[in-house]
Amino acid sequence: MTEALVLFSGGQDSTTCLAWALDRFEHVETIGFDYGQRHRVELACGARVRERLAQAYPIWAQRLGEHHNLDLSILGHISETALTRDATIAFSAGGLPNTFVPGRNLLFLTLAAAVAYRRGLKHLVGGMCETDYSGYPDCRDDTLKALQVALSLGMDRRFVVETPLMWIDKARTWMLARDLGGDGLVDLIREETHSCYLGDRGTRHEWGYGCGECPACALRAGGWERYRLGGGG
């Protein structure tokens, strides 16, 4: 357990996962995807987060390796979702939110595995979660376990898909960040990360920046309130 590749969007969950990986592995690289998302401001936030982490945590800075940014614009072209189109966020007739981008996490992890294969990295770390999520089937533990098997067989190399947030809610995600990097990491996440689906960086809330209305903001705000009431802030 010495090397890992973190799927890194610049949001709260992926930043917590990056800290988790830096706390455990000797060498950690990150990978991000530009797929035409409405909130592509997250890509710039991700660069700032990496910079701030390296400044604040010297040991982590020694372990933090290269960042890989992949152009996945084709995903935006073939998706008609509220994350890749200027559309009102709502639930579809099938019960899934229209923020669900079909195949997104499957593609992300497949491409991450291809990069990890070339770079000699065994562990793929992602912020997928079943406890506090919007119904996305590609965030389910069963999906990711199946994908781990497929990737390992298809590339004839053992990959381990790590999902440290799978069974915790947003309040406990804030707690995990505090446990890993103290109040400094919590403050960094509040100030520098981005989770809002609409890409709003103009409105500052106690929990960070965002529109305050979209599902991502609602999850983040609710988790922060429970974390704060539990003595975390």
Q: What is the largest CA-CA distance in the chain?
A: 49
Residue ranges of domains in the chain: 3-194
Question: 124-133, 147-156, 175-184 — which is least confidently predicted?
Answer: 124-133
H and E: helices and strands count for the chain? 8, 7
pLDDT digit string (tens) for 34-76?
876 756 678 889 999 999 999 999 999 999 999 999 987 776 6
Give SS3 for 217: helix
At which residue do the structure tokens 């979660």 appear? 129
Residue type, 217: C
Q: What is the Cα–Cα distance from 173 to 60, expressed in whole angstroms? A: 19
The CATH code for residues 3-194 is: 3.40.50.620
What pLDDT is recorded for position 204? 96
Q: Is the pLDDT of residue 1 over 70?
A: no
Tell me which H or E stretch contains 160: strand 160-162
What pLDDT is recorded for position 100? 59
Say what the pTM is.
0.89
Per the structure block, which two tokens stand in for 105? 């996490």
Mean pLDDT in residue range 139-161: 95
What pLDDT is recorded for position 82? 45
Residue 137 Cα to chain centre, angstroms: 16
Q: What is the Cα–Cα distance from 190 to 178, expressed in whole angstroms? A: 12
pLDDT digit string (tens) for 152-184?
999 999 999 999 999 999 999 999 999 999 999
